[in-house]
A = this chain, B = another copy of it.
Amino acid sequence: MKQRLEKLQTWMKENEIEVSFLTSSENVFYLSGYYTDPHERLLALVVFQSEEPFLVCPGMEIHDARRSGWEYELLGYSDIDNPWELILSSINKRINGVTKAAIEKEHMNVERYEQLSRLFPKAAYVSAEEKLRKLRMIKDARELKIIEEACALADYAVEVGVSEIKEGKTELEVLNAVEYALKQKGVTEMSFATMVLTGANAASPHGNPGGTKIQKGDLVLFDLGVVVDRYCSDITRTVAYGDINDKQKEIYDTVLKAQLAAVEASKPGVTAAEVDLTARRIIADAGYGEYFPHRLGHGLGIGVHEYPSMTETNPLIIEEGMVYTIEPGIYVPDIAGVRIEDDLFITADGAKVLTKFPKELQIIK
């Protein structure tokens, strides 16, 4: 944590930012070690170039925050306090006015921005997010270890899901069995709402699982992730229930070819755009370009969608230590929906694939 705070402070000095006022649960956790979802209440980590930082949280969480290992000042407030007055006083104890402040512009809402602007009306407000995304984009050994655990549990979840496929079972029944099995392993949180989609339902890239029953000839799609120590995994596998037709097979093969090529292309020095286009071209060449309507993937960590964003226009250079997903998909309404997704860790030699459930077409009898 201290090293992370120091990196932020170095950046603040370089950019003459006197104060960083960070409000997202994820960045507060990344820098302080304390995670909470404060709902509509204010959570803030206030960092200075040299002075001691302080953490603002609902008063009833003070003990939890202290127990999480935060060593510096804790500013608790009750539901009837005005936290902004307390914050102003704590800032004024440390520094003499603010001319430039860093905030999370994609997280802080306009109401809080107006509150903060009233405290420091002469300050310029710049975004802290680009810097925090870059810090968070490169994972350390401890983070990798946690993500590997989360990926192993995601593999297990798909394994359970595939074993539950049976004629006439609904998407929700399979989903429940998967999540129940995970809970028995101590999992308390999924990265996002688990998806089990079958047949025509899987042909929507963001369909919702429901009462649709699995039938022979269906492609069944699993998209899920597990949270371990606040880090996310994210896997997608599509399997066949019984024999599928040639069109479905062609679509599966195309997605798999694109996915494998993009994994192969993932290494330090190439751009995110090159990786995306490696997969996108294969899908377009097979005639399915218009049926792949989303980016190739996204970074993964404390957030389930982090940097790098794997789009066809992102010039960002891939580096050692990055963790991201590769998840091409083809969705042809009423015919087939196939997506295959792995989580990758980038090493000097190329990609290490962290999700290990087989990708060759599985035909469940």
Which A residues form the contact surface with B (CB < 8 A)? 36, 39-40, 59-61, 63-64, 78-80, 103, 105-111, 113-114, 125, 127, 172, 175-176, 179-180, 183-184, 186, 188-189, 193, 204-207, 209, 211, 293-295, 304-305, 311-313, 333
Contacts and interface: CB of A to CB of B under 8 A. Distances in A.
Contact of A110 (B60, B63, B110, B206): B110
B176 A183 contact: yes
A79 B111 contact: no
B80 A204 contact: no
A106 B111 contact: yes
B59 A293 contact: yes
A204 B63 contact: yes
Contacts of A313: 80
Contact of A105 (B109, B186, B204, B333): B109
Given A108-B109, A179-B183, 17 more contacts: A40-B305, A60-B204, A60-B293, A63-B204, A64-B207, A79-B311, A80-B311, A105-B109, A105-B111, A107-B109, A108-B110, A109-B109, A110-B113, A111-B127, A172-B186, A176-B180, A180-B183
B204 A64 contact: yes
The 9 closest A-B pairs by CB, nearest first: A105-B110, A176-B183, A105-B111, A106-B111, A79-B295, A60-B205, A60-B293, A110-B113, A180-B180
Contacts of A61: 206
A130 to B, nearest CB: 11
A193 B189 contact: yes
B193 A172 contact: no
A64 B193 contact: no
Contacts of A207: 64
A147 B179 CA distance: 26
A294 B311 CA distance: 45
Given A176-B180, A311-B80, A188 B209 contact: yes
Given A40-B106, A110-B108, A125-B110, A172 B176 contact: no
A39 B42 CA distance: 20
A176 B184 CA distance: 8
A294 B186 CA distance: 30
B172 A188 contact: yes
Contacts of A40: 106, 305
A110 B63 CA distance: 31
Contacts of A105: 109-111, 114
A207 B61 CA distance: 9
A29 to B, nearest CB: 14
Given A63-B204, A105-B109, A113-B110, A305 B79 contact: no
19 contacts: A36-B206, A59-B293, A60-B204, A63-B204, A63-B333, A78-B293, A79-B295, A79-B311, A80-B311, A105-B109, A106-B111, A110-B113, A110-B125, A113-B113, A172-B188, A179-B179, A180-B183, A186-B211, A188-B193
Contacts of A36: 206
A206 B64 contact: yes
Nearest to A111: B105
A114 to B, nearest CB: 7
Contacts of A186: 172, 211
B305 A39 contact: yes
